[in-house]
Amino acid sequence: MTVDATEFRAAMSRLGASVSLITTDGPAGRGGMTASSVCSVTDQPPTLLVCINRNASTYRAVRRNLAVCVNILAPRHVDLSRRFSTAQLSAEQKWSGVEWKTLATGAPALADAAVSLDCRVSMVKHMGTHGVFFCEVVDVSFSATTEGLIYFDRAYHPITGWAGQAVAEY
Ligand SMILES: Cc1cc2nc3c(=O)[nH]c(=O)nc-3n(C[C@H](O)[C@H](O)[C@H](O)COP(=O)(O)OP(=O)(O)OC[C@H]3O[C@@H](n4cnc5c(N)ncnc54)[C@H](O)[C@@H]3O)c2cc1C
């Protein structure tokens, strides 16, 4: 039995995931895109992974800059997430009207992200259409947000930080 790409994507639509804005800057210039394939790997050294389509311009920029900032989004960032996942928009349309800052690597950090993890790329592996970037976290910036943004069933969903209640109710 084989599973084709359409069926696999349908299955993955039920894997709810936090939404991040991946940014980079350096010799290859600035780049940024929406990503949900972000995953913690280990805390020694603090490392996460990001999977990026090798056809995306952000892939080429991250590959050369070897720096990436993972900005984890809150519900107020849905419009920003849509902008950074739309291929036809100009750089001006994507980046304007947003407050950016920089942390250790110089990659743009979203000023009001739930949390920004600034990273240097330590390893890249290819799997099919995607590059898997292992990224060592070198700086972190938190905001006061207690809400998260989840992509599930091909739609955005807000979640609120009500620790404890989740286990009690389900
Ligand atoms: C909630 C959500 C989560 C997402 N998570 C991820 C994720 O984890 N990883 C990921 O890779 N994407 C993810 N995407 C998609 C990603 O945000 C978009 O593809 C985005 O447009 C990439 O921006 P870019 O400017 O880097 O790429 P662009 O350069 O705008 O390219 C976007 C896409 O267009 C196509 N394309 C562009 N140039 C070429 C070319 N020369 N030849 C063939 N095809 C081409 C490719 O499919 C490419 O991926 C996600 C989107 C959403 C909405």
Q: Where are the domains of the chain?
A: 5-169
Tell the residue nearest (CA) to atom 50 of ligand 1: 35
| Rama region for 5: left / alpha / beta (φ>0; ψ in -120 to 50; rest) | alpha
Tell the residue nearest (CA) to atom 48 of ligand 1: 56
pTM: 0.93
Distances (CA, A) of 100 to 73, 80, 116: 14, 13, 11
Q: What is the mean pLDDT of residues 145-154?
A: 93
Q: What is the pLDDT of residues 20-48, one digit of tens each?
A: 999 999 999 999 999 999 999 999 999 99
Tell the residue nearest (CA) to atom 38 of ligand 1: 55
Other CB atoms within 10 A of residue 105 CB: 22
At the top level of CATH, which class does the domain 5-169 belong to? mainly beta
Residues 6 or more apart whose CB falls under 8 angstroms from that of 17 comprise 36, 37, 38, 150, 151, 152
- Whole-angstrom distance, CA of residue 162 vs CA of residue 170: 13
Residues with CB under 6 A from ligand 1: 19, 33-37, 51-53, 55-58, 85, 87, 151
- Whole-angstrom distance, CA of residue 138 vs CA of residue 158: 28
61 Cα–ligand 1 center, Å:
13
